Amino acid sequence: MNFVSTRNDKEVVTASQGILKGLANNSGLYVPEEIPRLDVSIEDLSKMSYQDVAYHVMKLYFTDFTEEELRHCINSAYDSKFDTEEIAPLVSCDKAYFLELFHGATIAFKDMALSILPHLMITSARKNNVENDIVILTATSGDTGKAALAGFANVEGTKIVVFYPNGGVSRIQELQMITTKGDNTKVVGIDGNFDEAQTGVKKMFADSELNERIGKMGYQFSSANSINIGRLIPQVAYYVYSYAKLVENGEISNGDLINVCVPTGNFGNILAAYYAKNMGIPIAKLICASNENKVLYDFFKTGVYDKNREFVLTNSPSMDILISSNLERLIHLCAGKDAAKNVELMNDLAESGKYEITDEMRSKLDDFYGDFATEEETAKTIKELYDKTGYIIDTHTAVAKCVYDKYVEKTGDTTKTVIASTASPFKFTRAVMSAIDSKYDSWDDFDLVDELSKLGNVEIPNAIKEIRDANILHDNKCSVDGMEEAVTSFLK
C-alpha cells in the first residue's frame, strides 16, 4: 500500500515517508491508493481489545511497518495515559450511542491520534535513515495544540512549536498549553484566527528557502495537524471498534446498518468514519454537524464551498474553521482521483475563496448529510440532555447531538446512531455550566469544575487537576507575519 498526493498522482510515497513529510508537495495531501477492505470478520473484531482492533485497521495502511513496530506504537499510545481500559467507551443515552473519545491525556478526541503519532513518526524516521531532528509545526484551534504537546514533549529527536489564536481558545485550553513542560516545546499565541495560523504554518512548510535554511541547522519540518496520515488512519480504528462493540453488546446484529454523527471542523474525524465505511463497516449516513461556521452545511446543500463569510467565535472553538483541510481528500475521491481536477478546485479556493463541484461529483456525496446548530440551540441541547438523563456533554458533542435530533425529525430515520463525543465537558466547563444554569456565569473557572463534577457525578479528570496550580511556562505572542521568526529563533 502506497500513498499518493491529491495534487499529483506521480507523487507516491510509502506510509512512513508520508508520516514523516506530513504534507505533500504543492500543499497536496497524501491519500491511500485504494482504501483497503478489512481482512478480519466483525465477529472476530468484536472479541478484540481496542489495541488489537487498531492493529487490524492500521496494518492495512501502514504496510511498511513490521507487526512488531506497529504493535509497539499502538501499545505505547493506548496505555495508562487513558483513564479507561476500553480506551473509547460507548455510552447509550437518549436513543443514541455516545462514543467517548476523550479519555486520553488531554481529554479531547485529538488524543486518539496524537498519542500514537510521535511513535509512528520516530519509527518512520528510523526506517528512512533520517538524521535531522524533526520539528513539528502545528496550528491549533485549541485541542490539537495540547494533545500534540503532550505527545511530543521530551520525545528525543523532536521539537514542537504550537500556534494558537490568541483569545480564540477557552481559558482551560490555553492554560493546558502554556503550562506545558519540556525543553523541546514552544507555544505561541498569534494575533489572528485559526485559519490564519493554519495558513501561516502551511506557508512555512511550502517555503523551500526556509526548509533549506533549517536543514543546514540539522532540522526538518513535519506536521502533527490532522492532514498527516499518521493522524487520519488511527482515527479509523475507533469507528471499527464501536461497530464491533455494538454487535458484541447485542445492540445490533452483525450486518445491521448504523449512522454516524460527527461534530466537524477540519473534516478529519468524519473522513475517518468514511474510510471505515469503505473498509466494510456497515455505515449508512455520515451526519456532518457544524456550528455557526456552517461552511460545510452550505457545501453539502449546494455543491459550492465558499469561505468568504464572517468568521464566528463560538463556544465550540475546535470547530471554528472556514477551511476544512481534510475535505480535499473527499473532493479528490469524488473527482475520480483526478489530481488535475482537484488542483483546479483548490486553486479556485486559494484565489477566490470558493469553488463549485460538478453534479457528477455531488452525486458521490450522497452518504453525507450536513446540518448545523446555533449557539442557542447548542446550549439548549446540553441543558435538555442533562435535565432528562443527568448525562453532561461538552459543547462540541452538543452540536452533534442537536444536529442528530434535527436529522431524525426531518428524515424520520431512526437507524441506530453513534455520535462522536469529542471532548470532556471539563474542557469547556464555563460554556457547559452556563448552558445548564445562567447563575454559573459569574463563577470562577475552577469552582465550576468542582460543581460540574458534583452535578454530573463524574470525577475531575487528571488533565484538569494538573493545571490547577501549574506554572505558566510559555508567554509568547506574535503577529501572523512573525510566525517564521518565532520558529527560527526557537531553533537557534
Provide the annotated active-site residues.
110
Part of the chain binding ligand PLP (CB under 6 A), chosen from 14-22, 104-112, 384-392, 438-446: 104-112
Instruction: Count interface residues toward ligand PLP (CB under 6 A).
Output: 17
Q: How far is the CB of 305 from ligand PLP (least distance, A)?
A: 15
Query: Do 322 and 399 touch, CB atoms closer than 8 A?
Result: no
Alpha-carbon distance 18 to 7, whole Å?
A: 14
Q: Is 139 in the site for ligand PLP (CB under 6 A)?
A: no
Q: How far is the CB of 262 from ligand PLP (least distance, A)?
A: 7
Q: Which of 219, 466, 180 is nearest to 162 (CA)?
A: 180
3-class SS at 103? coil
Q: Is 268 in the site for ligand PLP (CB under 6 A)?
A: yes
Q: Is 269 in the site for ligand PLP (CB under 6 A)?
A: yes
Q: Which is nearer to ligand PLP, 322 or 478 (CB)?
A: 322
Contacting ligand PLP within 29-48 (CB under 6 A):
none
DSSP state of 37: P
Part of the chain binding ligand PLP (CB under 6 A), chosen from 206-214, 216-224, 264-272, 381-389: 264-272
Q: Which is nearer to ligand PLP, 235 or 259 (CB)?
A: 235
Q: Which is nearer to ligand PLP, 42 or 289 (CB)?
A: 289
| Gyration radius of the chain's alpha carbons | 21
Q: Which amino acid is at 179?
A: T
Cell match 469529542: residue?
A: 422
Q: Is 118 in the site for ligand PLP (CB under 6 A)?
A: no
* Phi, psi (deg, nearest 5) at residue 189: -90, 130
Q: Which is nearer to ligand PLP, 14 or 290 (CB)?
A: 290
Q: How far is the CB of 418 from ligand PLP (least distance, A)?
A: 15
Q: Is 110 in the site for ligand PLP (CB under 6 A)?
A: yes
SS (H, E, C) 251-318: CCCCCCCEEEEEECCCCHHHHHHHHHHHCCCCEEEEEEEECCCCHHHHHHHHCEEECCCCCCCCCCHH
Q: Is 161 in the site for ligand PLP (CB under 6 A)?
A: no
Query: Do 56 and 45 touch, CB atoms closer than 8 A?
Result: yes
Q: Is 168 in the site for ligand PLP (CB under 6 A)?
A: no
Which residues, other chains included, contact 386 with Cβ-Cβ below 8 Å and sequence gap of 6+?
Answer: 392, 436, 455, 456
Query: Do 110 and 191 touch, CB atoms closer than 8 A?
Result: no
Alpha-carbon distance 338 to 201, whole Å?
A: 26
Binding string, residues 405-424; x marks residues near ligand PLP by CB under 6 A: -----------------xx-
Q: Is 378 in the site for ligand PLP (CB under 6 A)?
A: no
Helix (H) or strand (E) run with residue 480 in it: none
Q: Which is nearer to ligand PLP, 35 or 270 (CB)?
A: 270
Part of the chain binding ligand PLP (CB under 6 A), chosen from 38-46, 129-137, 248-256, 259-267: 259-267
Part of the chain binding ligand PLP (CB under 6 A), chosen from 106-114, 212-220, 337-345, 378-386: 106-114
Which residues, other chains included, contact 453 with Cβ-Cβ below 8 Å and sequence gap of 6+?
Answer: 426, 459, 460
Q: Which is nearer to ligand PLP, 14 or 141 (CB)?
A: 141
Part of the chain binding ligand PLP (CB under 6 A), chosen from 91-99, 183-191, 262-270, 442-450: 262-270
Q: Which of 5, 226, 429, 453 touches ligand PLP by CB under 6 A?
A: 226
Contacting ligand PLP within 314-333 (CB under 6 A):
318-319
Q: How far is the CB of 486 from ligand PLP (least distance, A)?
A: 23
Q: Is 124 in the site for ligand PLP (CB under 6 A)?
A: no
CA distances from 172 to 177, 323, 464 (A): 9, 25, 8
Which residues, other chains included, contact 236 with Cβ-Cβ below 8 Å and sequence gap of 6+?
Answer: 57, 272, 273, 275, 276, 279
Q: Is 7 in the site for ligand PLP (CB under 6 A)?
A: no
Q: Is 106 in the site for ligand PLP (CB under 6 A)?
A: no
| Cα angle for residues 200, 206, 209 (degrees, 5° grid) | 105
Note the residues at the interface with ligand PLP (CB under 6 A). Answer: 108-110, 143, 226, 263-269, 318-319, 396, 422-423
